[in-house]
Amino acid sequence: MTKIFPAIAAAFLMTAPAHADPFIEAMETALEAYQDGDLQFAEDELAQAQRVLADMKAQGLANFLPPAPEGWTREIDTEGGQMMGFMGGGTMAKAVYSGDAGRFELSLMADNPMVAQLGMMLGNSAMIAQMGGQVERINRVRFLREDQSLKAIVANRILVQAEGADTDVMIPLLEQIDFRAMENF
């Protein structure tokens, strides 16, 4: 195992331009520290590389957050994803939309154990009915519609949740999301 990491890292680094981005810099630094025998620093730099990748994934997920409708504002929460480690991991992106008709939050959470558990519930229309919720279809995705809340699971791994305003206010924004593209995130 100890000989595999340097070989993989060296092959990876040979194909990438030096100091091209923070991820590559962290990987190069980790490799140098490893080769120098400083395993703690190598581990710290690998953790930094993981944080950079997590930020890149969060930005990719945030790209699915629709722009604010005319007359509204959208504020993307850049701090929300930092709590994902405490929630079992994964990636999160969220935004707060504010306008004359109210204020609500739209969040996207991917690859988290909680999402898998919710998927069993949200994927079952009978269970939704037993909970007193209604099924709302938006762009071929089945949402659980409750008072000021819409929730769905996309591709069995991404929770889409809009909360805080009348559902009729939030639905037009959700209709702008390309859920088919999101399946490949």
| CATH value at residue 137 | 3.30.200
Domain end marker among 13, 41, 60: 60
106 and 139 share a domain? yes
Same domain, 56 and 74: no
- 121: which residues sit within 8 A by CB, 6+ positions away? 127, 128, 131, 144
Residues 99 and 167 in one domain: yes
User: Facing residues of 74 across strands?
Assistant: 97
Nearest to 151 by CA among 106, 110, 113: 106
On the question of pLDDT at 86 being above 80, the answer is: no
Do 148 and 90 reside in the same domain of the chain? yes
Q: Which of 60, 86, 108 is the last residue of a domain?
A: 60
pTM of the model: 0.74
Percent of the chain exceeding pLDDT 90 equals 50
User: Where in the sequence is the domain holding 155, given as residue range(s)?
Assistant: 66-182
**Same-domain check for residues 121 and 137:** yes
Q: How many domains does the chain have?
A: 2
Between residues 161 and 51, which one has the greater pLDDT? 161
Q: Is residue 16 located within the same domain as residue 101? A: no
Compute the mean pLDDT over every residue in the chain, rounded to the nearest whole number: 83
Considering only CA atoms, which of 111, 110, 108 is closest in space to residue 93?
108
Q: What residues contact residue 98 under an 8 Å CB cut-off, 6+ apart?
A: 72, 73, 75
What lies within 8 Å, CB to CB, of 77 at 6+ separation is: 93, 94, 95, 96
